[in-house]
Structure 1
């Protein structure tokens, strides 16, 4: 039985006969995105909703690459446009508009992710809408960071891309094997980080500083730990996508895989952006 760190990969679709594909007859999964934006909600059971024509051929690696590329492209485009707009708003002294864009993008992304996750929706409109919402959120946030720390946006993007590529190479070469024991360790690590982040958030609301998010040495170490966990969770995501391809799930499920990978990438980017801001503080 395969498990992924990402809630988007908890269940795979069923065959046309209504029976689970081999190897996917039991529910599985654990918190994925974690506390940063609240996307670690457990998934419901069932199969991603796919049209009948999408079931005529099995999913391939090309399907995953193209759908993931399209989703990342939408996020990047929306992010760049929003970041440029955010910088113009800062120059005009309109921080309220930027805050509204960040909150709006975050909430829309959260709602869409919950719908996709709980209802197992696998289609282009929902995945691309989620990608656009995350682009607006990340763009508004990055635009402000870029004004305070020039060059941080490009560094965060390159850092996230580098981590993704490195972990893909690690997975493909088998340098780190995705074993049942590895999955259990990852589930525990993700659950632990989610709990710590949630507790830290609650304490922060009451004005209590735990030192995990204030740019201190402890905050830097914590961010490095979170980045490491996010990076290794890609191995579980890759393994799940690989298994889906081997089992011949419907081609349209590639949109669901793209959504799951994007969730982890957004989490990774946010944490790298945060770490870079710590390192550039005086």
Structure 2
């Protein structure tokens, strides 16, 4: 019922006011029965004519779409994803060439980008407002890390070709997961989302612990498991988790468009998709490098 909703109450009052606005005798009309009847008839005729014209105008107008109502659209998400991904790739290219010419910049770009995105990631996740500048800065820091990391791996002779292979594997996985989700082969529901969330939190804590141990010299190489069977299993788990994250992103985008979420959230949806792609690429690099060892 609309009676309990203040928005519908206000709308109903406006409708009632418009409905009765033309009722009664026009100002200056005489109170005689004939004149009053004629004036009332003229008033009703004018009201009917105005209503007909208004209806014709309404029918002639195009239906309001999601863009007109300020809602999320798939095209908007695609455009914003391309913007963020373009910034990431552009900065990654600069980082790649700068670190290739100046190896001393590799560590600052790598660590600066990694910890910068980590800090900004928490800020973005817990912020009550969608800050587009923060998302753009995140994309730039992500690119700085990506270029330095990729250049470092590519410069090691035994890992030659790993970067290109990882890029191709990332693109193929993206396409496969999209087809799987679109055809219903890959399912995303409340149960799988909960399982994915707990697995993601556990893997995130594990990865942070590994980074700390690598930086303090407790671990070396690729960290836990090294390049042995256990290390390869860890990388396979990371690839699988990142790949399923794509399906979760697709489902989130689908839900946002279906329920008509505010347009500002298109930036967050695009941000999540780009972050997942970069994560998947890094996991593929680790996996292929371990296999080379």
Q: Fold conserved (TM > 0.5)?
A: yes
Query: Counterparts of 2:138 and 2:229 in 1: how far apart (Å)?
Result: 34
Superimposed CA distance per residue, residues 91-116 of structure 1 (whole angstroms, 9 cap, x where no aligned partner): xxxx3x21111122223222322222
Post-superposition offset of 1:69 = 1.3
State the Cα distance separating 1:173 from its structure 2 match.
0.8
Quick one: which of 149, 155, 161 aligns to 2:165?
155
CA displacement 1:161-181 (0-9 Å, x = unmatched): 221221111111111221222
Question: Does residue 122 in structure 1 map to residue 135 in structure 2?
Answer: no
Which consecutive unaligned segments of at least 5 residues does structure 2 have?
Answer: 1-6, 8-66
Match of 1:169 among 175, 179, 203: 179
Aligned partner (choices 140, 148, 153) of residue 140 of structure 1: 148
CA distance in 2, matches of 1:194, 1:108: 16
Check if 1:68 corresponds to 2:78. Answer: no
- Contact between 1:156 and 1:273, CA under 8 Å: does it hold in 2? yes
In structure 2, C-alpha distance between the alignment counterparts of 1:111 and 1:191, rounded to whole Å:
16
Instruction: Determine the structure 2 residue equivalent to 1:182.
Output: 192
Contact 2:177 2:186 in 1 (8 A): no
Comparing 220-229 and 143-152, the one that deviates more: 143-152
Output one character per residue of 1:48-93: Cα deviation in whole Å (capped at 9) or x when no partner: xxxxxx9942111101111111111111111122111111113xxx
In structure 2, the residue matched to 1:59 is 72
Distance 1:197 1:123 in 2: 27
Of 268, 280, 285, 1:273 maps to 285
After TM superposition, list the pairs within 5 Å mapping 1:176-215 onto structure 2.
176-201=186-211, 204=214, 205=216, 207=218, 212-215=224-227
Cα deviation per residue 1:193-223 (whole Å; 9 max; x = unaligned)? 2343345455554726796352222111110
CA contact (8 A) 1:55 1:252 kept: no
**In the alignment, what sits opposite 1:262?**
274
State the secondary structure of the residue aligned to 1:251: coil
Kindly indicate whether the alpha-carbon contact (under 8 Å) linking 1:55 and 1:250 is maintained by their aligned counterparts in 2: no
- Alpha-carbon separation, structure 1, partners of 2:217 and 2:163: 31
CA distance in 1 between counterparts of 2:288 and 2:69 reads 46
Contact 1:123–1:252 at 8 Å: present in 2 too?
Answer: no
Q: Which residue of 1 aligns with 2:262?
A: 250
Distance 1:254 1:231, change over 3 A: same
The answer on 1:131 being equivalent to 2:139 is: yes
Q: Partner of 2:229 in structure 1?
A: 217
Change in Cα spacing, 1:242 to 1:119, as seen in structure 2 (3 Å) is same
Structure 1 residue 158 displacement after superposition = 1.7
Deviation at 1:120, TM superposition (A): 4.1
Partner Cα separation in structure 2 for residue 118 and residue 55 of structure 1 = 29
Contact 1:104-1:137 at 8 Å conserved across structures: yes
- Normalised by the size of structure 1, how large is the TM-score? 0.72
Please identify which structure carries the higher helix content.
2
Q: How much has 1:189 moved relative to structure 2?
A: 2.2
Deviations 1:103-136 (A, max 9, x none): 2222322232222211144344222221111000
Give the one of 92, 98, 101 matched to 1:85: 98
Specify the alignment match of 1:31 in structure 2: none
Unaligned runs of 5+ in 1: 1-16, 18-53
Q: Which has the higher contact order (CA 8 A, sep 6+)?
A: 1
Alignment size in residue pairs: 224
Q: TM-score w.r.t. structure 2 length?
A: 0.69
- Structure 1 residues 55 and 202: CA distance shift in structure 2, 3 A: farther
